[in-house]
Chains A and B, each alone.
Chain A
Amino acid sequence: MKELRAARLYLFGAPIWDWLGLLPFLAFVLLFLVIPSANLFAGAFVNRTGVFTLENIVVFGNPFVLRSYLVSLQVSLVTALVGGVFGFLVAYAITLGRAPGWMRGVIMTFSGLAANFGGVPLAFAFIATLGRTGFLTALLKGICFPAGESEVCPFNPYDYGFNLYSVTGLVMTYTYFQFPLMVLIITPALEGLRTEWREACESLGGSQLHYWRDVAFPVMMPSLLGAMLLLFSNAFGAYATAQALTGGSIPLVTILIGQQIRGDVLNNPHEGYALALGMVVVMALTVWGYAVLQRRTTEWLRR
């Protein structure tokens, strides 16, 4: 038996032979995930003649590109925050806030639905509701008062600078799937808060503020951080909704990349690679930041 063992080759404690079982999976991943990504990565660091260069970084000096990154980051942060705060309040309302039971049922069901309702149809739904001739716009426009000769219709939102096909509209649309996602993630965390913790805190002289600051939020921190990461990456990578909503008029990075795929708008494919790589870098930084925060705030979870 001993010789047999010695005759085999081991890799990380398992016979080499066993690792071959992962071969189909790894081959697939290599072909359709690693090579395309590596290609992108490599493409960002060579010039047209295939020589290594860092000059593609100049793409980030292009005001269009810079602006698209800023808008993308802004939209992602704002929708993550708006969706996160709104979702948190809703989750609080249906758990600790003791909203009626039927409300909880409806909201949980619809959160599952809305968090999964995205892409082109979502854009259509918002256009039909809040577009120039949309249902809600028409409803608001219909509220008119007679004033002398003419009528005054003070509620047309488009007269007041509202525009669905803008960043504001995009934020409102993204919120439709962002806040339900937050509800889905945070509800279990809120339910995990034990009443005894609140009571223990109170009996030790703590106020509501103390409880939330010192116990509830720290305990929920892993879920909160995870939720924010998911919400951010969700909005940052979103393409279909924005494309269908604005037809590409809002300069998001994803939209710009889409244009680059279709027709090389940057005139230099390698700058296009750099542009796309930038998104991966942003995501990697975000995940890294998440991991650091997670490590710092959850010391108590590790044994």
Chain B
Amino acid sequence: MAYLELKHVRKVFGETVAVEDFTLDIQQGEFVSFLGSSGCGKTTTLRMIAGFELPTSGTITLNGRDVTFTPPNRRNVGMVFQSYALFPNMTVAQNVGYGLRVAGKPKAEIDQRVREMLALIQMEKFAARYPSQLSGGQQQRVALARALAIRPQVLLLDEPLSALDAKIRVELRQEIRRIQQELRITAIYVTHDQEEALSLSDRVVVMSQGRIEQVGTPTEIYNNPASEFVARFIGHINLLPVHLVSVSADHLSVRFGSCMLRVVQPEFSPNGAAPMLAIRPETIRLGTGSDQDNRLVGRVESVTYLGAVIRLQVHVEGHSLSVDVLNERTLSLPRQGEDCPLHFSPRACWLMPSANT
């Protein structure tokens, strides 16, 4: 039995269905992210796990105990808020020790634990400061320590980094991961930043309109998106309308405009609908490649510098194809309006059913 189980959880606010048929098992010590666009029900799900909202139907089981209707203060769940939510009238040490104080722990034990926690977030020097004397990043670390001090069964984080600037965000997310690994704590992390979700998590739950679209490891989510929604939502992708021509033992043949392309996809099963060929921009290369590769020719529409990569929009067979090229100093790129050959491996692309036909 899984550590944290959500079964057919549904939440309705008046007319809006915020969460629909949400079923998920989370193992002890796992780091799971909820990823999805704004308003898709991530926060609501998290708050139901924390006990701040009651599900309209469904059950939540934590460590073998049905906690669906347990009030939040008896769930032993740690929560980190987007806005830090530190108590402004307490010092850092008092904030971190508050959960233990409420539980009536002896002072010596509280002090000891507070020291441990401050060491964990490397903020021993700030114990006597008030939250208003800390930077946003420091406040969020304290909030993390405060949530961890009570040794929660699950740590819930609701977009903990979105109020911080980009550099601190990356630093702090690595720190969160380190601490989670060190304490082997079960964590659920809500974000709408896919880079965060992919880099931190053991598993990612992609949500859309209150439903789970896909659950999987970051690699699965990125390389094998289960639906067009996930494919489009995570990373950048080219989806080309193609016709399936033939299926042979080791590959599929499809026609894209006037070109024939090969796809190596052993698990493919045709289901009648017109398929789409999915290919990530970074797997398309410039040049003619070898005989094994799929080859295309197109006209460059635009060249955009993104820093590490350069994105080309190439017009091929009536469609605009994104192509990402790693930025090297000696690189000579085709100019806008020039023709250029492209190639990609049959293993780099896959067919998926088209959603809207």
Contact = CB atoms under 8 A, between A and B. Distances in A.
Nearest to B91: A300
Contacts of B71: 202
A204 B146 contact: yes
A293 interface: no
B132 A200 contact: no
Contacts of B52: 199, 202
Interface stretch (A17-25, A65-73, A207-215, A239-247): A207-215
A193 B71 CA distance: 21
Contacts of B50: 199, 203
A5 interface: no
A159 interface: no
Contacts of B90: 214, 300
A206 interface: yes
B72 interface: yes
Nearest to B52: A199
Among A199, A201, A300, the one with the most B-chain Cβ atoms within 10 Å of its Cβ is A300
A300 B132 contact: yes
A214 B81 CA distance: 19
Contact of A205 (B91, B102, B130, B133): B102
B78 A303 contact: no
A206 B102 contact: yes
Contacts, number: 78
Interface in A168-196: 194, 196
A219 interface: yes
B150 A204 contact: yes
A206 B73 contact: yes
A300 B130 contact: yes
Given A199-B79, A199-B81, A207 B73 contact: yes
Contacts of A215: 87, 89
A197 B132 contact: no
A214 B91 CA distance: 12
A300 B89 contact: yes
Interface in B68-89: 71-79, 81, 83, 85-89
Interface residues of A, number: 22
B73 to A, nearest CB: 5
A203 B89 contact: no
A203 B147 contact: yes
Contacts of A219: 87-89
B102 A210 contact: yes
B166 interface: no
B99 interface: yes
A214 B98 CA distance: 9
Interface in A141-171: none
B87 A200 contact: yes
Nearest to A298: B89
A218 interface: yes
A87 B99 CA distance: 32
Among A201, A202, A203, A218, the one with the most B-chain Cβ atoms within 10 Å of its Cβ is A203
B255 to A, nearest CB: 56
B162 to A, nearest CB: 14
B103 interface: yes
Given A196-B81, A214-B98, A303-B133, A203 B72 contact: yes
A165 to B, nearest CB: 45
A303 B73 contact: no
Among A194, A205, A207, A221, the one with the most B-chain Cβ atoms within 10 Å of its Cβ is A205
B73 A203 contact: yes
A245 to B, nearest CB: 42
Given A199-B79, A200-B79, A200-B81, A205 B103 contact: yes
B89 A218 contact: yes
Nearest to A303: B133
Contacts of B74: 205
Given A196-B85, A202-B52, A301-B132, 18 more contacts: A196-B81, A199-B52, A199-B85, A200-B85, A200-B87, A202-B73, A203-B72, A203-B75, A203-B147, A205-B73, A206-B98, A207-B102, A210-B102, A214-B90, A214-B98, A215-B87, A215-B89, A299-B130
16 contacts: A196-B83, A199-B85, A200-B87, A201-B102, A202-B52, A203-B51, A203-B78, A204-B102, A206-B99, A206-B102, A207-B102, A214-B98, A219-B89, A299-B130, A301-B132, A303-B132
